[in-house]
Amino acid sequence: MLILATDTSGKHGSVALVRYEANTSSTLQVVPLQGGTFSAQLIPQIAELLSKHDLSKADLDAFAVATGPGSFTGLRVGLAAIKALAEILRKPITTVSLLEVIAAQAKPIAAEQSRIVLAALDAGRNEVFVGEYNVGPAMPSCVAEDLLRLDELAGRVSKSPLPVYTPDDSIAQLLDAHRANSGQSNIFCVQRPDAASVAILGGNKIRAGLTVSPEELDATYIRRADAEIRKPTHTPA
């Protein structure tokens, strides 16, 4: 199964081709995308990526797309591109949260057991995207995702035994300092999600039948768009 995956959630993004067979995957290539110009780059980069590997759009079997959390504008660009391609090619789409990719890097305590972990991702503005996930032998299942201030997250983890997984050193260092005061230290730095990791987790979800139609495809913003925040809450008389 050849999967095309995109991540346009943040300041920088990526597009990847991953071949997924049974429970193994091989990444053909990951192409970085420069933030702020996703709309101009994405489709040309996809075309160039396919051409470089002597492939065409018809060779694609499925799509995986990062649905957030992240930039309102960036996510819309990625989702629009995948929606259009999936409609034309009539191929399945699976959606992947970046927090889900982070949580997937945690391992269950034993083969038949599961545990709750927190996944944290820098949201800027002194805020953190936080996902609570049940990690077991299969894929992580989401309990809740939220946007917290750094101090709110620090306060939460200082009182909780839950392990925290994050790709951001600044978050890990802050939480380690708070956990040290309570005698606990189970903060783990993991790899930052990209389009390849979205594709790999997406392959598991596609095999499990967890796909959406182009009409159902939507983003997980968590934080409202700036335009919505600034929108007046009343109509002037």
Instruction: Quick: pLDDT tens for 138-173.
Output: 889 999 999 999 999 988 887 878 899 999 999 998
CA torsion 58→60→62→64, rounded to 10°? -120
CATH of the domain at 180: 3.30.420.40
Q: Are residues 88 and 121 in the same domain?
A: no
Q: Do residues 89 and 161 share a domain?
A: no
Cβ 33 vs Cβ 14: under 8 Å? yes
Give mean pLDDT, residues 197-203. 95
> Nearest Cα to 2, choosing from 59, 48, 66, 84?
59
Whole-angstrom CA distances from 211 to 58, 126, 138, 198 are 19, 34, 16, 14
> In terms of domains, do 13 and 87 share one?
yes
142 Cβ neighbours under 8 A, 6+ residues apart: 97, 99, 100, 131, 132, 133
Where in the sequence is the domain holding 200, given as residue range(s)?
2-97+193-224
Same domain? For 71 and 112 the reply is no
Same domain, 116 and 145: yes
For residue 32, say if its preceding peptide bond is cis, omega within 30 degrees of 0.
Answer: no
Domain co-membership, 43 together with 93: yes
Lowest mean pLDDT among 57-66, 84-93, 121-130, 181-190: 181-190
Mean pLDDT of the chain: 87
pTM of the full predicted structure? Answer: 0.88
Handedness of CA 63, 168, 36, 76 (dihedral sign): positive
Residue range 92-120: mean pLDDT, rounded: 87
Sequence-ordered list of residues with C-beta below 8 angstroms from that of 5, at least 6 positions apart, any chain = 15, 16, 17, 18, 63, 64, 65, 66, 96, 195, 196, 198, 199, 202
Could you tell me the CA-to-CA distances from 3 to 42, 55, 80 in Å, in that order?
A: 16, 12, 17
> Same structural domain for residues 31 and 90?
yes
Shared domain for 124 and 169, answered yes or no, is yes
Tally of domains within the chain = 2
What pLDDT sits at residue 232?
Answer: 40
Domain assignment present for 233? no
43 inside domain: yes
- Tell me, what's the pLDDT at 224? 53
Residue 75 domain-assigned? yes
Q: In what order do the strands lie in the sheet with 24-33?
A: 24-33, 13-21, 2-7, 62-66, 93-96
Is 237 domain-assigned?
no
Residues 87 and 204 in one domain: yes
Q: Is residue 236 included in any domain, yes or no?
A: no
Is 229 contained in some domain?
A: no
185/198 same-domain check: no
Q: Tokens 């819309």 identify what position?
A: 76
In a domain, 79, yes or no: yes
**Inter-residue contact 67 to 5 (CB < 8 Å):** no
- Tokens standing for residue 110: 């034993």
Q: Say yes or no to pLDDT of 235 above 50.
A: no
In a shared domain, residues 93 and 198: yes
Per-residue pLDDT averaged across 174-186, rounded? 70
Check whether residue 78 and residue 138 sit in a common domain: no
pLDDT over 70 for what percent of the chain?
89
Query: Which amino acid, 113?
Result: Q
In a domain, 210, yes or no: yes
Q: How far is CA 90 from the centre of its chain?
A: 24
